[in-house]
A and B are shown apart, each in its own frame.
Chain A
Amino acid sequence: MTAQPPDPDAQFAAAPERPQILAPPPQRSRGMAMLIEHPTLWIGLALLVLVTLMAILAPLIAPHDPAALNPAFRVKPPSAEAWFGTDMLGRDIFSRTVYGARVSLIVGAGVAVCASIFGLAIGVLSGFLRWADNIVMRVMDGLMSIPAILLAIALMTLMRGGSVFNVILAITIAEIPRVARLTRSVVLSVREQPYVEAGTACGTSTLGIIWRHIMPNTLAPLTVQATYICASAMITEAILSFIGAGMPSSVPSWGNIMAEGRALWQVKPSIVFFPAIFLSVTVLAVNLLGDGLRDAVDPRLAKQV
């Protein structure tokens, strides 16, 4: 029998146990956490990817040439031969709808990019130069007082003749004020930040301040805004086409398809119905993406709304 060696720690009194009263949060990978916290982001993105793939692969997906006339096969209801039926000239609505995604996406993305670039430039300018601010913002206010759709119609009339470029240009001009206002408000708040003052004290030039300190802070809200603009541009484009002020009728855009089916919609609602569904789903996808982005970028904003 050997005596227990004396415990060297015996002289040190230990504090009582501090129990765990909250279970630690589950360990998730970053991607998983994003998915769980912002489902709208992922649903929107997934839908948008599907529509984009459809637009890119249109020649492979569409069973028929979207412009091919087939007078013998006019105004048919959906069938195995023509999934969404045919229109008054016998063109396959499914094929036209698939190709129509191209127009919508190009216009949506084009307007979002152009309006962001010009709006950012104008917003930064008026946020930074006091004298420019009054003039620029009054012009923007004037533009904003006209509903975007009316402004776009007026611009389209002025430009005589629809083309993708003209449509993008018209809608972009109508959307710029929203971006400019947003950018200006961000610039005005960021330029009051102490780190901007600190940058000035370091000898950084005004351009350097704008480029390094102010622009990066506008990117997050601008991206969110761009998605909303993209969605609203798609709708505006469809409306323009629908009333005949947008794309030339030869181009299969969702607005054009609906316009052509307008006369028959009580007899053959399917002509209007299918492109309308695609337009709605695409716009929904872009809006979901925007909401998700907003929540992910600025959690405070999400709680207020």
Chain B
Amino acid sequence: MALLEVRDLQIHFRTATGVNRAVDGLSFDIEAGEALAVVGESGCGKSVTSMSILGLLPTPPGKIAGQIRFRGQNLLNASESRMRKLRGAEIGMIFQEPMTSLNPVFTIGQQIGESVRLHEKASRAEARDRAIEMLRLVGIPSPERRVDEYPHQLSGGMRQRAMIAIALACNPALLVADEPTTALDVTIQAQILDLMQDLRSKVGSAVMLITHDLGVVAEFAERVLVMYAGRKVEEATVRDLFRTPRHPYTQGLLKAVPRLGSSLGAETSVRLAEIPGRVPDLSKPLRGCAFADRCPRAQEVCHRIDPALETKAAGHLAACHFAPREVSAA
């Protein structure tokens, strides 16, 4: 049994004009201690998925179907008080914008201590010691002083470190990180990624990393899940995905990213490969493959039959009728 098992997850929202199928039939597993990245462009449903795992999606207007099993227990049936116990203790979370997720009226120490005291019934003094220890662990200089400071007194990178300290204070089994470095500068991003990698090996948490940045995926994750229009289109180990992407969308994405060093030496500037068109409107009914309208390989059948996720090579899933298949996998 995997640590987290998501089965046939559907998250739909009612809007003025129709039903937005933000996530439509998503299944995946996260094993204990594993780093899984979920990539996709804005509106592909990756953030909504992470919110539903944390039980933070308001329903209505949303409606969730399917199963999210954490250690075998379906979180979608769990009570709010049970979810509150899980969040922070067993499932930690890091969001993109640290300033909005830290409470401005409590000190950093109080906020780290709160989750320790709540979940481990530690005394006030123990909680404070733990907070200092966590701040030191995430690389905040002079933690004895910082522990009594308020979020606005910290810089952006420091705040994100403090968020990580809060998220990891109770050694969660799963850390959900939604675009944790997107708001940060590259040099700070590098620090935070190194820190998360380091802590993962120390604490042994599984990480679900939500990002749009393929560079971050390549640096951090072990397995990748590519989402498009609320559906999983490809899943593979990082190495396989970057070496032999099998879904045309993944291939397009990888070609569209400008890479450092790739355009040097060329006399004239190189054109980037672009994916024509735009993401489909999810509040309109979709027939066939969601990517068919933009796909260079699309044929008539793609507009009719919604391709199933098939194993194209060992441990490599793709939802495309025409994705190459390794002989041994068939």
Does the CB pair B310–A13 fall under 8 Å? yes
Chain B residues lying within 8 Å of A16, measured Cβ to Cβ, are 8, 25, 308
B203 within 8 A of A: no
A266 within 8 A of B: no
Does the CB pair B19–A15 fall under 8 Å? no
Interface set, chain B 1-58, CB cutoff 8 A to A: 8, 10, 12-19, 21, 24-25
B256 within 8 A of A: no
Chain B residues lying within 8 Å of A15, measured Cβ to Cβ, are 25, 306-309, 319
A18 to B25, CA, bound (A): 6
Taking the closest CB of chain B, its distance from the CB of A244, in whole angstroms, is 53
Chain A residues lying within 8 Å of B16, measured Cβ to Cβ, are 25, 33
Q: What does the 1/0 interface line of A1-34 toward B look like (CB < 8 Å)?
A: 0000000010011111011111111000000010
Checking B12, B15, B304 against A21 with a beta-carbon cut-off of 8 angstroms, the contacting residue is B12
B65 within 8 A of A: yes
- Count residues of chain A with CB under 8 A from any CB of chain B: 15
B305 within 8 A of A: yes
Given known contacts A22-B19, A24-B19, is B12 in contact with A14 (CB within 8 Å)?
Answer: no
Given known contacts A20-B19, A24-B19, A25-B18, is B12 in contact with A12 (CB within 8 Å)?
Answer: no
**Chain B: CB-nearest residue to A21:** B65
- Count residues of chain B with CB under 8 A from any CB of chain A: 25
A23 to B18, CA, bound (A): 9
A-B pairs with beta carbons under 8 A, tally: 52
Taking the closest CB of chain B, its distance from the CB of A19, in whole angstroms, is 7
Chain A residues lying within 8 Å of B304, measured Cβ to Cβ, are 9
Does the CB pair A18–B24 fall under 8 Å? yes
Does the CB pair A14–B10 fall under 8 Å? no
Given known contacts A12-B301, A12-B321, is B308 in contact with A18 (CB within 8 Å)?
Answer: no
**Chain B: CB-nearest residue to A33:** B16
B152 within 8 A of A: no
Does the CB pair A14–B308 fall under 8 Å? yes
A21 to B18, CA, bound (A): 13
Does the CB pair B305–A9 fall under 8 Å? yes
A19 to B285, CA, bound (A): 12
Taking the closest CB of chain A, its distance from the CB of B233, in whole angstroms, is 11
B63 within 8 A of A: yes
Checking B17, B63, B305, B306 against A22 with a beta-carbon cut-off of 8 angstroms, the contacting residue is B63
A22 to B18, CA, bound (A): 10
Taking the closest CB of chain B, its distance from the CB of A13, in whole angstroms, is 4
Given known contacts A18-B10, A25-B14, is B307 in contact with A12 (CB within 8 Å)?
Answer: yes
Query: Which among A12, A14, A33 has the greatest number of chain B C-beta atoms within 10 A?
Result: A12
Given known contacts A12-B301, A13-B310, A14-B308, is B65 in contact with A19 (CB within 8 Å)?
Answer: yes
A24 to B63, CA, bound (A): 12
Q: What does the 1/0 interface line of B165-189 toward A look like (CB < 8 Å)?
A: 0000000000000000000000000
**Chain A: CB-nearest residue to B10:** A21
Interface set, chain B 234-264, CB cutoff 8 A to A: none
Does the CB pair B310–A21 fall under 8 Å? no
Chain A residues lying within 8 Å of B19, measured Cβ to Cβ, are 20, 22-25
Given known contacts A25-B15, A25-B18, is B308 in contact with A13 (CB within 8 Å)?
Answer: yes
Chain B residues lying within 8 Å of A25, measured Cβ to Cβ, are 14-19
Given known contacts A9-B301, A12-B301, A15-B25, is B14 in contact with A22 (CB within 8 Å)?
Answer: yes
A23 to B13, CA, bound (A): 10
A13 to B12, CA, bound (A): 25
Taking the closest CB of chain B, its distance from the CB of A288, in whole angstroms, is 24
A16 to B19, CA, bound (A): 20
Chain A residues lying within 8 Å of B65, measured Cβ to Cβ, are 19, 21
Chain A residues lying within 8 Å of B18, measured Cβ to Cβ, are 24-25
**Chain A: CB-nearest residue to B61:** A22
Taking the closest CB of chain B, its distance from the CB of A211, in whole angstroms, is 32
Chain B residues lying within 8 Å of A22, measured Cβ to Cβ, are 12-14, 19, 63
Interface set, chain B 273-308, CB cutoff 8 A to A: 301, 304-308
A15 to B19, CA, bound (A): 20
Taking the closest CB of chain B, its distance from the CB of A291, in whole angstroms, is 21
Taking the closest CB of chain A, its distance from the CB of B52, in whole angstroms, is 13
Chain B residues lying within 8 Å of A19, measured Cβ to Cβ, are 10, 65
A299 to B301, CA, bound (A): 44
Taking the closest CB of chain B, its distance from the CB of A28, in whole angstroms, is 10
Chain A residues lying within 8 Å of B13, measured Cβ to Cβ, are 22
Q: What does the 1/0 interface line of B194-225 toward A look like (CB < 8 Å)?
A: 00000000000000000000000000000000
Chain A residues lying within 8 Å of B17, measured Cβ to Cβ, are 25
A13 to B318, CA, bound (A): 12
Query: Which among A14, A20, A22, A24 has the greatest number of chain B C-beta atoms within 10 A?
Result: A22
Does the CB pair B301–A18 fall under 8 Å? no
A20 to B308, CA, bound (A): 18
Interface set, chain B 45-80, CB cutoff 8 A to A: 63, 65
**Chain A to chain B: the 7 pairs with minimum beta-carbon distance, closest first:** A13-B308, A15-B306, A15-B308, A21-B65, A22-B12, A18-B25, A22-B63
Sample of 11 more A-B contacts, CB < 8 Å, known A18-B21, A18-B24, A22-B19 = A12-B301, A13-B308, A14-B305, A18-B25, A19-B10, A21-B12, A25-B14, A25-B15, A25-B16, A25-B19, A33-B16
Q: B residues touching A (Cβ–Cβ < 8 Å)?
A: 8, 10, 12-19, 21, 24-25, 63, 65, 301, 304-310, 319, 321
19 contacts between A and B (CB under 8 A): A9-B301, A13-B310, A14-B305, A15-B25, A15-B307, A15-B308, A15-B309, A15-B319, A16-B25, A16-B308, A20-B19, A21-B10, A22-B13, A22-B19, A24-B14, A24-B19, A25-B17, A25-B18, A25-B19
